[in-house]
Amino acid sequence: MVSSFAKLALRLRHFVPFLGASAMFALVPTGAVAADDPAMFESVRQADLRVATIGWRLASANVALCDRLEAGTGLQLHTLDQFDGGSREDARVHFTFATPVAIEGVVAGSPAEIAGLKADDSLVRVGSVDIAALPGKPMTTDRLVAAQLAIAALPVDAPIAVEVLRGGAPVRVTLQPIPVCKSRFEMRIARDWGASADGTMVQIGSRFVEEYRDEWLAAVMAHEFSHNILRHREKLEARGVNFGMLSGFGKNVKYFRQTELQADLLGVYLMANANYPVRAAIDFWKVFGPSKAGGILRSRSHPSWRDRVSTLEAEIAKIETISARPIVPAVLTDRAVPLDGNWERLIVRQR
Protein backbone atom coordinates (compact mmCIF):
# COMPACT_ATOMS: atom_id res chain seq x y z
CA MET A 1 0.00 0.00 0.00
CA VAL A 2 1.29 3.48 -0.85
CA SER A 3 1.80 5.57 2.26
CA SER A 4 -0.05 8.82 2.78
CA PHE A 5 3.23 10.73 2.51
CA ALA A 6 3.97 9.12 -0.83
CA LYS A 7 0.64 10.51 -1.98
CA LEU A 8 1.70 13.98 -0.85
CA ALA A 9 4.29 14.23 -3.60
CA LEU A 10 1.87 15.98 -5.94
CA ARG A 11 4.52 16.32 -8.66
CA LEU A 12 6.47 18.93 -6.69
CA ARG A 13 9.83 19.48 -8.29
CA HIS A 14 12.24 19.60 -5.36
CA PHE A 15 12.06 21.03 -1.84
CA VAL A 16 10.83 23.70 0.54
CA PRO A 17 13.53 25.38 2.64
CA PHE A 18 13.05 26.54 6.19
CA LEU A 19 15.21 29.42 7.36
CA GLY A 20 17.02 29.06 10.65
CA ALA A 21 17.99 26.32 10.71
CA SER A 22 16.99 26.00 7.07
CA ALA A 23 14.60 23.06 6.95
CA MET A 24 13.50 21.61 3.65
CA PHE A 25 10.69 19.24 2.77
CA ALA A 26 11.88 17.22 -0.21
CA LEU A 27 9.14 15.77 -2.33
CA VAL A 28 9.80 13.20 -5.04
CA PRO A 29 7.32 12.54 -7.90
CA THR A 30 5.36 9.35 -7.19
CA GLY A 31 2.61 9.22 -9.78
CA ALA A 32 -0.87 10.52 -10.37
CA VAL A 33 -2.35 12.46 -7.48
CA ALA A 34 -5.25 14.89 -7.43
CA ALA A 35 -3.17 18.06 -7.43
CA ASP A 36 -6.18 20.32 -7.01
CA ASP A 37 -7.13 18.79 -3.64
CA PRO A 38 -6.82 21.56 -0.99
CA ALA A 39 -6.51 18.98 1.78
CA MET A 40 -3.49 17.48 0.05
CA PHE A 41 -1.78 20.85 -0.21
CA GLU A 42 -2.45 21.48 3.47
CA SER A 43 -1.10 18.05 4.40
CA VAL A 44 2.15 19.00 2.71
CA ARG A 45 2.23 22.27 4.61
CA GLN A 46 1.54 20.73 8.01
CA ALA A 47 4.00 17.87 7.59
CA ASP A 48 6.70 20.32 6.59
CA LEU A 49 5.93 22.56 9.53
CA ARG A 50 6.26 19.64 11.91
CA VAL A 51 9.81 18.90 10.72
CA ALA A 52 10.64 22.61 10.65
CA THR A 53 9.48 23.09 14.22
CA ILE A 54 11.63 20.25 15.55
CA GLY A 55 14.61 21.51 13.58
CA TRP A 56 14.09 25.06 14.88
CA ARG A 57 13.84 23.87 18.46
CA LEU A 58 17.08 21.88 18.23
CA ALA A 59 19.00 24.57 16.34
CA SER A 60 17.93 27.51 18.47
CA ALA A 61 18.42 25.79 21.85
CA ASN A 62 21.94 24.58 21.12
CA VAL A 63 23.69 27.73 19.94
CA ALA A 64 26.22 27.35 22.75
CA LEU A 65 27.33 24.06 21.19
CA CYS A 66 27.70 25.32 17.61
CA ASP A 67 30.56 27.24 16.04
CA ARG A 68 28.74 27.84 12.75
CA LEU A 69 25.70 30.08 13.04
CA GLU A 70 23.15 31.76 10.79
CA ALA A 71 20.34 34.29 11.07
CA GLY A 72 17.36 32.39 12.43
CA THR A 73 13.99 33.65 11.24
CA GLY A 74 11.55 30.75 11.52
CA LEU A 75 10.43 31.26 7.93
CA GLN A 76 9.47 28.24 5.89
CA LEU A 77 9.59 29.06 2.17
CA HIS A 78 8.39 27.58 -1.09
CA THR A 79 8.14 28.58 -4.74
CA LEU A 80 5.65 28.14 -7.55
CA ASP A 81 8.50 26.75 -9.65
CA GLN A 82 8.29 23.57 -7.56
CA PHE A 83 5.07 22.60 -9.28
CA ASP A 84 4.79 21.16 -12.78
CA GLY A 85 2.27 22.33 -15.35
CA GLY A 86 -0.48 20.01 -14.13
CA SER A 87 -0.54 21.41 -10.60
CA ARG A 88 1.03 24.83 -11.02
CA GLU A 89 -2.16 26.86 -11.38
CA ASP A 90 -3.88 25.00 -8.53
CA ALA A 91 -0.87 25.70 -6.30
CA ARG A 92 -0.81 29.36 -7.30
CA VAL A 93 -4.43 29.79 -6.30
CA HIS A 94 -4.27 27.72 -3.12
CA PHE A 95 -1.11 29.35 -1.76
CA THR A 96 -1.93 32.78 -3.29
CA PHE A 97 1.51 33.16 -4.90
CA ALA A 98 2.10 36.76 -5.98
CA THR A 99 5.92 36.65 -6.19
CA PRO A 100 8.42 33.89 -7.07
CA VAL A 101 9.06 32.92 -3.42
CA ALA A 102 6.43 32.86 -0.68
CA ILE A 103 6.04 31.85 2.95
CA GLU A 104 4.67 28.33 3.26
CA GLY A 105 4.62 28.44 7.04
CA VAL A 106 5.94 30.18 10.13
CA VAL A 107 7.30 28.38 13.19
CA ALA A 108 5.35 29.25 16.33
CA GLY A 109 7.21 31.62 18.63
CA SER A 110 9.90 32.38 16.06
CA PRO A 111 11.04 35.89 15.04
CA ALA A 112 8.92 35.59 11.90
CA GLU A 113 5.75 34.99 13.90
CA ILE A 114 6.61 37.74 16.39
CA ALA A 115 7.08 40.16 13.48
CA GLY A 116 3.60 39.32 12.18
CA LEU A 117 4.53 37.37 9.06
CA LYS A 118 2.01 34.76 7.98
CA ALA A 119 1.66 31.70 5.80
CA ASP A 120 0.89 32.62 2.18
CA ASP A 121 2.59 36.02 2.41
CA SER A 122 4.54 36.50 -0.84
CA LEU A 123 8.07 37.81 -0.34
CA VAL A 124 9.12 41.04 -2.05
CA ARG A 125 12.27 41.92 -0.08
CA VAL A 126 14.03 40.53 2.98
CA GLY A 127 16.69 42.94 4.21
CA SER A 128 19.03 43.50 1.29
CA VAL A 129 17.62 40.51 -0.59
CA ASP A 130 15.44 41.56 -3.56
CA ILE A 131 13.42 38.43 -4.32
CA ALA A 132 12.60 39.40 -7.92
CA ALA A 133 16.29 39.97 -8.68
CA LEU A 134 17.44 36.55 -7.54
CA PRO A 135 19.00 34.44 -10.30
CA GLY A 136 17.51 31.17 -11.44
CA LYS A 137 16.07 29.31 -14.38
CA PRO A 138 12.26 29.10 -14.65
CA MET A 139 10.72 25.80 -13.55
CA THR A 140 13.67 25.02 -11.27
CA THR A 141 14.27 25.65 -7.59
CA ASP A 142 17.24 27.92 -8.33
CA ARG A 143 15.61 31.08 -7.02
CA LEU A 144 14.32 29.32 -3.94
CA VAL A 145 17.82 28.09 -3.09
CA ALA A 146 19.24 31.55 -3.79
CA ALA A 147 16.65 33.13 -1.47
CA GLN A 148 17.36 30.65 1.30
CA LEU A 149 21.11 31.15 1.13
CA ALA A 150 20.90 34.94 0.90
CA ILE A 151 18.52 35.29 3.84
CA ALA A 152 20.48 32.86 6.03
CA ALA A 153 23.63 34.88 5.29
CA LEU A 154 22.17 38.12 6.70
CA PRO A 155 23.70 39.32 10.01
CA VAL A 156 22.55 37.15 12.89
CA ASP A 157 21.88 40.03 15.28
CA ALA A 158 20.67 42.95 13.13
CA PRO A 159 16.98 43.79 12.48
CA ILE A 160 15.70 42.74 9.04
CA ALA A 161 13.16 44.84 7.15
CA VAL A 162 10.74 42.52 5.37
CA GLU A 163 8.24 43.47 2.67
CA VAL A 164 5.53 41.05 1.56
CA LEU A 165 2.32 41.06 -0.41
CA ARG A 166 -0.70 39.87 1.57
CA GLY A 167 -3.97 39.64 -0.29
CA GLY A 168 -2.44 41.87 -2.97
CA ALA A 169 -1.56 44.67 -0.53
CA PRO A 170 2.01 45.51 0.60
CA VAL A 171 2.87 44.79 4.22
CA ARG A 172 6.14 45.89 5.82
CA VAL A 173 7.48 44.54 9.11
CA THR A 174 10.77 44.45 10.97
CA LEU A 175 12.06 41.03 12.00
CA GLN A 176 14.68 40.56 14.70
CA PRO A 177 16.52 37.31 13.91
CA ILE A 178 18.25 35.20 16.50
CA PRO A 179 21.47 33.21 16.10
CA VAL A 180 20.83 29.53 15.41
CA CYS A 181 23.06 26.60 14.53
CA LYS A 182 23.76 26.45 10.83
CA SER A 183 22.08 23.37 9.34
CA ARG A 184 19.21 22.57 7.01
CA PHE A 185 16.58 19.99 7.91
CA GLU A 186 14.86 18.03 5.14
CA MET A 187 12.16 15.39 4.96
CA ARG A 188 12.66 12.99 2.11
CA ILE A 189 9.63 11.24 0.66
CA ALA A 190 10.54 7.55 0.59
CA ARG A 191 9.40 4.13 1.75
CA ASP A 192 12.72 3.26 3.38
CA TRP A 193 13.94 4.20 6.86
CA GLY A 194 16.77 6.47 5.84
CA ALA A 195 18.16 9.34 7.89
CA SER A 196 21.45 11.07 7.12
CA ALA A 197 23.62 14.17 7.47
CA ASP A 198 26.10 15.58 4.97
CA GLY A 199 27.75 18.35 6.98
CA THR A 200 25.25 21.07 6.13
CA MET A 201 21.92 19.25 5.98
CA VAL A 202 19.95 16.76 8.05
CA GLN A 203 17.62 14.51 6.09
CA ILE A 204 14.93 12.30 7.58
CA GLY A 205 12.73 9.86 5.70
CA SER A 206 8.99 10.43 5.55
CA ARG A 207 8.19 7.09 7.20
CA PHE A 208 9.67 8.40 10.45
CA VAL A 209 7.43 11.45 10.23
CA GLU A 210 4.40 9.39 9.36
CA GLU A 211 4.75 6.76 12.08
CA TYR A 212 6.60 8.29 15.03
CA ARG A 213 5.72 10.97 17.56
CA ASP A 214 7.62 14.22 17.85
CA GLU A 215 10.05 13.27 20.63
CA TRP A 216 11.13 10.19 18.66
CA LEU A 217 11.61 12.31 15.53
CA ALA A 218 13.67 14.68 17.67
CA ALA A 219 15.88 11.76 18.74
CA VAL A 220 16.57 10.81 15.12
CA MET A 221 17.08 14.41 13.99
CA ALA A 222 19.30 15.27 16.98
CA HIS A 223 21.54 12.29 16.21
CA GLU A 224 21.95 13.36 12.57
CA PHE A 225 22.35 17.02 13.58
CA SER A 226 25.18 15.93 15.87
CA HIS A 227 27.09 14.61 12.86
CA ASN A 228 27.01 18.12 11.39
CA ILE A 229 27.98 19.87 14.62
CA LEU A 230 30.92 17.47 15.07
CA ARG A 231 31.94 17.86 11.40
CA HIS A 232 31.88 14.14 10.84
CA ARG A 233 31.56 14.30 7.07
CA GLU A 234 34.72 16.39 6.81
CA LYS A 235 36.59 14.11 9.18
CA LEU A 236 35.52 10.92 7.41
CA GLU A 237 36.58 12.36 4.09
CA ALA A 238 39.93 13.31 5.64
CA ARG A 239 40.37 9.64 6.60
CA GLY A 240 39.64 8.59 3.01
CA VAL A 241 36.79 6.25 3.94
CA ASN A 242 34.29 4.75 1.53
CA PHE A 243 30.68 5.79 1.90
CA GLY A 244 27.52 3.88 1.02
CA MET A 245 27.63 0.10 0.62
CA LEU A 246 31.36 -0.08 1.38
CA SER A 247 31.11 1.71 4.72
CA GLY A 248 30.79 -1.61 6.57
CA PHE A 249 34.02 -3.10 5.30
CA GLY A 250 37.71 -2.81 6.15
CA LYS A 251 39.12 0.29 7.80
CA ASN A 252 35.85 2.14 7.22
CA VAL A 253 34.09 0.32 10.05
CA LYS A 254 36.03 1.73 12.99
CA TYR A 255 35.67 5.32 11.82
CA PHE A 256 31.94 5.09 11.12
CA ARG A 257 31.28 3.39 14.45
CA GLN A 258 33.21 6.14 16.21
CA THR A 259 31.12 8.85 14.55
CA GLU A 260 27.87 7.00 15.25
CA LEU A 261 28.62 6.72 18.95
CA GLN A 262 29.79 10.33 19.19
CA ALA A 263 26.52 11.41 17.52
CA ASP A 264 24.50 9.23 19.89
CA LEU A 265 26.16 10.86 22.88
CA LEU A 266 25.87 14.45 21.65
CA GLY A 267 22.32 13.88 20.39
CA VAL A 268 20.84 13.32 23.83
CA TYR A 269 22.42 16.58 25.04
CA LEU A 270 20.88 18.42 22.09
CA MET A 271 17.52 16.95 23.10
CA ALA A 272 18.01 17.91 26.75
CA ASN A 273 18.91 21.48 25.84
CA ALA A 274 15.81 21.71 23.65
CA ASN A 275 13.65 20.33 26.51
CA TYR A 276 12.79 17.07 24.79
CA PRO A 277 12.55 14.03 27.09
CA VAL A 278 15.97 12.43 26.66
CA ARG A 279 14.71 8.93 27.42
CA ALA A 280 12.70 9.18 24.21
CA ALA A 281 15.96 8.23 22.47
CA ILE A 282 15.99 4.94 24.39
CA ASP A 283 12.31 4.33 23.75
CA PHE A 284 12.90 4.92 20.04
CA TRP A 285 15.73 2.41 19.82
CA LYS A 286 13.84 -0.24 21.75
CA VAL A 287 11.07 -0.06 19.15
CA PHE A 288 13.12 0.70 16.04
CA GLY A 289 16.13 -1.48 16.81
CA PRO A 290 14.64 -5.01 16.87
CA SER A 291 12.68 -4.61 13.63
CA LYS A 292 14.73 -2.12 11.61
CA ALA A 293 18.34 -2.34 12.83
CA GLY A 294 18.84 -5.91 13.98
CA GLY A 295 19.66 -9.30 12.50
CA ILE A 296 20.35 -9.27 8.77
CA LEU A 297 19.28 -5.62 8.63
CA ARG A 298 22.15 -4.50 10.84
CA SER A 299 24.89 -2.50 9.17
CA ARG A 300 28.45 -3.37 10.24
CA SER A 301 29.28 0.33 10.16
CA HIS A 302 26.93 0.87 13.13
CA PRO A 303 27.16 -0.61 16.63
CA SER A 304 24.37 -2.97 17.67
CA TRP A 305 21.20 -1.24 18.78
CA ARG A 306 21.36 -2.99 22.17
CA ASP A 307 24.81 -1.58 22.89
CA ARG A 308 23.65 1.82 21.69
CA VAL A 309 20.80 1.67 24.20
CA SER A 310 23.24 0.75 27.01
CA THR A 311 25.53 3.60 26.01
CA LEU A 312 22.63 6.06 25.93
CA GLU A 313 21.34 4.88 29.30
CA ALA A 314 24.73 5.55 30.90
CA GLU A 315 24.97 9.03 29.36
CA ILE A 316 21.38 9.95 30.20
CA ALA A 317 22.04 9.01 33.83
CA LYS A 318 24.66 11.79 33.82
CA ILE A 319 22.32 14.28 32.17
CA GLU A 320 19.63 13.65 34.75
CA THR A 321 21.95 14.90 37.50
CA ILE A 322 22.40 18.30 35.78
CA SER A 323 19.67 20.93 36.08
CA ALA A 324 21.37 23.84 34.29
CA ARG A 325 20.75 24.43 30.58
CA PRO A 326 22.34 24.45 28.14
CA ILE A 327 24.69 21.61 28.95
CA VAL A 328 27.96 21.65 27.00
CA PRO A 329 29.05 18.00 27.06
CA ALA A 330 32.57 16.60 27.03
CA VAL A 331 31.97 14.86 23.69
CA LEU A 332 31.89 18.28 22.03
CA THR A 333 35.67 18.49 22.43
CA ASP A 334 35.92 15.71 19.84
CA ARG A 335 35.01 18.28 17.18
CA ALA A 336 38.58 19.58 17.22
CA VAL A 337 40.19 16.12 17.13
CA PRO A 338 40.74 13.94 14.03
CA LEU A 339 39.03 10.56 14.04
CA ASP A 340 41.25 7.80 15.42
CA GLY A 341 38.78 4.93 15.03
CA ASN A 342 38.78 4.12 18.76
CA TRP A 343 35.05 3.53 19.08
CA GLU A 344 35.45 0.96 21.86
CA ARG A 345 36.28 3.68 24.40
CA LEU A 346 32.84 5.23 23.85
CA ILE A 347 30.59 2.22 24.05
CA VAL A 348 28.90 0.72 27.11
CA ARG A 349 28.16 -2.93 26.39
CA GLN A 350 24.82 -4.46 27.25
CA ARG A 351 25.17 -6.76 30.23
Do residues 99 and 125 touch, judged by C-beta distance below 8 A? Answer: no
The pLDDT of residue 191 is: 81
The pLDDT of residue 32 is: 33
For residues 259 and 240, give the distance between their C-alpha atoms in angstroms, rounded to a whole number: 14
The pLDDT of residue 245 is: 58
For residues 246 and 65, give the distance between their C-alpha atoms in angstroms, rounded to a whole number: 31
Phi, psi of 299 (to 5 degrees): -90, 135
Tens-digit pLDDT profile for the chain (351 aa)?
335 555 545 445 445 555 554 433 333 333 333 455 788 889 888 888 999 999 999 999 999 999 999 999 999 898 888 877 778 889 999 999 999 999 999 999 999 999 999 999 999 999 999 999 998 888 788 888 899 889 989 999 899 999 999 999 999 999 999 999 998 887 787 788 888 998 888 988 888 988 999 999 999 999 999 999 999 999 999 999 887 655 556 688 899 999 999 999 999 999 999 999 999 999 999 999 887 765 434 566 788 889 999 999 999 999 999 999 999 999 999 999 999 999 999 999 876
Q: Is the peptide bond before 326 cis (omega within 30 degrees of 0)?
A: yes
For residues 215 and 309, give the distance between their C-alpha atoms in angstroms, rounded to a whole number: 16
For residues 282 and 279, give the distance between their C-alpha atoms in angstroms, rounded to a whole number: 5
For residues 78 and 237, give the distance between their C-alpha atoms in angstroms, rounded to a whole number: 32
Structure pTM?
A: 0.86
Whether the CA torsion 31, 33, 36, 42 is positive or negative: it is negative
Phi, psi of 65 (to 5 degrees): -100, -5
Residue 23, SS3 per DSSP: strand
